[in-house]
Amino acid sequence: MQKGIIKLKKRPCIIASASVVGAHEHRGPLSDSFDMFCEDNLFDTETWEQAESEMQRRAFNLALNKAKMKDCELDAIFAGDLLNQCTGSAYGLCDFDAPYFGLYGACSTLAESLILSSMLVSAGIYEHTAAVVSSHFCSAERQFRYPLEYGNQRTPTAQRTVTGAGAFILSANGEGPFISEVLPGRVVDRGFKDINNMGAAMAPAAIDTLWRYFSESGKSPSDFDLIVTGDLGYEGVNIVRDLLRKHGIELSDNYNDCGLMIYDCERQDVHAGGSGCGCSAVVFAGHLMDRLKRGELREILLVCTGAMMSPGSFLQGLPIPGIAHLLHISAK
Amino acid sequence: MQKGIIKLKKRPCIIASASVVGAHEHRGPLSDSFDMFCEDNLFDTETWEQAESEMQRRAFNLALNKAKMKDCELDAIFAGDLLNQCTGSAYGLCDFDAPYFGLYGACSTLAESLILSSMLVSAGIYEHTAAVVSSHFCSAERQFRYPLEYGNQRTPTAQRTVTGAGAFILSANGEGPFISEVLPGRVVDRGFKDINNMGAAMAPAAIDTLWRYFSESGKSPSDFDLIVTGDLGYEGVNIVRDLLRKHGIELSDNYNDCGLMIYDCERQDVHAGGSGCGCSAVVFAGHLMDRLKRGELREILLVCTGAMMSPGSFLQGLPIPGIAHLLHISAK
């Protein structure tokens, strides 16, 4: 039985990555690491939803160019987003000539797509795959909360959905970074119901996955240059630190969260931090990939977290199940 | 490059399957092949959406029982449905102890989940996996069209979303049926926009996949006891027959569609046939698996079709992209 950590015998290489972001992300501290941004967040389209698809299309094209590949040379695309029926991906990628697997892991979709990609490349079934995900502040607000025109106030625990798309090309061969291990997450439901505190809702899943990883591997947090969660924000990060400490796992300064890295949270007024599929995708595609390639980071754990509720399930009074998928990525 | 048909070297076995359906499906011609039904379609819950989750939970439990397995013995669950944010699966399967991959392939999700499962089992990365999908007439009408209480009229080309959940347990070892080959689909957009004719919207994707399969394999339709599409209904089936004939591929009496098999379409007033993730799932889990195990069918092609639009993308005037994933299943 192979239930926990999957050690990839032949480690797939991330040969290219690309990121496309909105104006708010462009004005944040990681600005230089993104490939492209758009001041009005519409990306030459007429609606926020079509803008999200366009971001995926551009990020994917950029990644293909960096990898010097054509779409028809890919064995498969793994893609997803937060929109109803995952239309961000279906419309963004419908013009490309490659087999398509649509995924839904909420904000954890980046890790889900990289895990499935890397297992199939490692096994030799595929040689080249792509992982593409996105989120858009304006389409997410309209769908999950209120249209922007309402000008509703947000609670201090709320996070800002990142406007961004990330695309990655994986290959059986390359010079790194490599995906060394993966640990797919379980659905974790602890009865949490506050729709304005996604960080707290997703934290139990992150704890479950990190605890399983350290228990099974025998490693400790100090074995990694960076442990980075996807989008827990201030609320979730503090819960993860506190509860893992009670389990004897001390996350020190090498722990961070993409939702805290992408914005200067106070100056940019984003409350508890960034969130969304695009959050971990653009931070990893840009800033983290750059640092891995420069050798500043050698071994990292990327843990993408997702909240699996819908506006409908919230209105029906159901709790928010979470999930967290983990990747161990090595520079060499 | 491995882009088209993937021949599974070590063929995974479907060791168990289970189906749970609603009252309308129970009164159809395949009634005897389903494991469980519920007269009021609520399955002891309070909402249609929770009923859909409950169907997944029951179908998955039934399949585990038939396989004489516990959830914790599974390496992974691949699951999906049509609800916004795929909550049918997330809530239906959140109590089970197994890694979870959420998928969205619209009505093609059954084939997508079986393809990913079978590639990973064949490669030896996993030993036991599950594929679980569902749809529910009442939750789908509320979400994609109008709440049932409005009593809206449906066009002759409309299909009825099947109330049903199917669950499958795959294993590296077993006595059959086996998954011999898989062919993942591409997103196909031919500009079709009629939201009340899903069969016609999905037909181009089915044609693309079937044409690729027969071209690449060199086989002909007569090499199979049955070629069965997921939920094209009368409209889609006729388009597939006509256009494949123009490409020199003649589908004879051995071609059928789960959407036409599940209902006595005229007597049960379902217009163009059945549709939804649950359609192909319960027809395959029950009727087709029974016939494969009895030896009445030896080699079949299962081609599940999906329409990747959302109510939002329709309102924005976008066309309906389709996708079709193919599995070649052998009794022995």
3-state SS string for chain A: CCCCCEECCCCCEEEEEEEEEEHHHHCCCCHHHCCEEECCCCCCCCCHHHHHHHHHHHHHHHHHHHCCCCHHHCCEEEEEECCHHHHHHHHHCCCCCCCEEEECECECHHHHHHHHHHHHHHCCCCCEEEEEEEECHHHHHHHHCCCHHHCCCCCCCCCEECCEEEEEEEECCCCCCEEEEEECCCCECCCCCCCCCHHHHHHHHHHHHHHHHHHHHCCCHHHCCEEEECCCHHHHHHHHHHHHHHCCCCCCCCEEEHHHHCCCCCCCCCCCCEECHHHHHHHHHHHHHHHHHCCCCCEEEEEEEEECCCHHHHHCCCCCCEEEEEEEEECC
How do residues A231-272 score in pLDDT, each as one tens digit?
A: 999 999 999 999 999 999 999 999 999 999 999 999 999 999
CB-based burial, B85-114: b 16+ in 10 Å, e otherwise: bbbbbbbbbbebebbbbbbbbbbbbbbbbb
Burial class (CB in 10 A: 0-12, 13-18, 19+), A1: exposed
Contact B187 A100 (CB under 8 A): yes
Burial class (CB in 10 A: 0-12, 13-18, 19+), A257: buried
Percent of chain A scored above 90 by pLDDT?
98
Contact B116 A101 (CB under 8 A): yes
Among candidates B46, B49, B312 on the partner chain, residue whose Cβ is nearest the Cβ of A49 = B312
Residues in A touching B128 (Cβ below 8 Å):
1
| C-beta separation of B184 from B305 below 8 A | no
How do residues A3-46 score in pLDDT, each as one tens digit?
A: 699 999 999 999 999 999 999 999 999 999 999 999 999 999 99
**pLDDT of res. A62:** 98
Total-model pTM: 0.98
Contact A49 B6 (CB under 8 A): no
**pLDDT of res. A152:** 87
Q: What is the mean pLDDT of residues B139-162?
A: 93
Whether the CB of B75 is below 8 Å from some CB of chain A: the reply is yes
Contact A82 B85 (CB under 8 A): yes
Tokens, residue A9: 């015998």
Cβ neighbour number for residue B253 with a 10 Å cutoff: 6
User: Looking at beta carbons, which pairs linking B214-221 to residues 24 or more positions away fall under 8 Å?
Assistant: B214/B249, B216/B4, B216/B5, B217/B5, B217/B181, B220/B249, B221/B249, B221/B250, B221/B251, B221/B252, B221/B254, B221/B255
Question: What's the CA gap between A14 and B96, in Å, rounded?
Answer: 32
| C-beta separation of A263 from A24 below 8 A | yes
DSSP character at residue B85: G
Instruction: Give CA separation, B222 vs A63, B232, B289, in Å.
Output: 43, 21, 20
Interface of B with A in 258-287 (CB under 8 A): none
**pLDDT of res. A54:** 98
Whether the CB of A5 is below 8 Å from some CB of chain B: the reply is no
Selected for mutation to probe chain B from A85, A121, A186, A316 (highest B CB count within 10 Å) is A85
How do residues A57-111 score in pLDDT, each as one tens digit?
A: 999 999 999 999 999 999 999 999 999 999 999 999 999 999 999 999 999 999 9
Question: What's the CA gap between B248 and B228, in Å, rounded?
Answer: 19
- Enclosing H/E stretch for B212: helix B198-217
Report the chain A residue with the minimal C-alpha distance to residue B143.
Answer: A312
pLDDT score of A1 more than 50: no
Question: What's the CA gap between B232 and A66, in Å, rounded?
Answer: 40
Among candidates A76, A83, A309 on the partner chain, residue whose Cβ is nearest the Cβ of B310 = A83
Contact A125 B124 (CB under 8 A): no
Question: What's the CA gap between B13 and A241, in Å, rounded?
Answer: 43
* Dihedral sign computed on CA atoms, order B135, B196, B259, B112: negative
Check: complex ipTM more than 0.90: yes
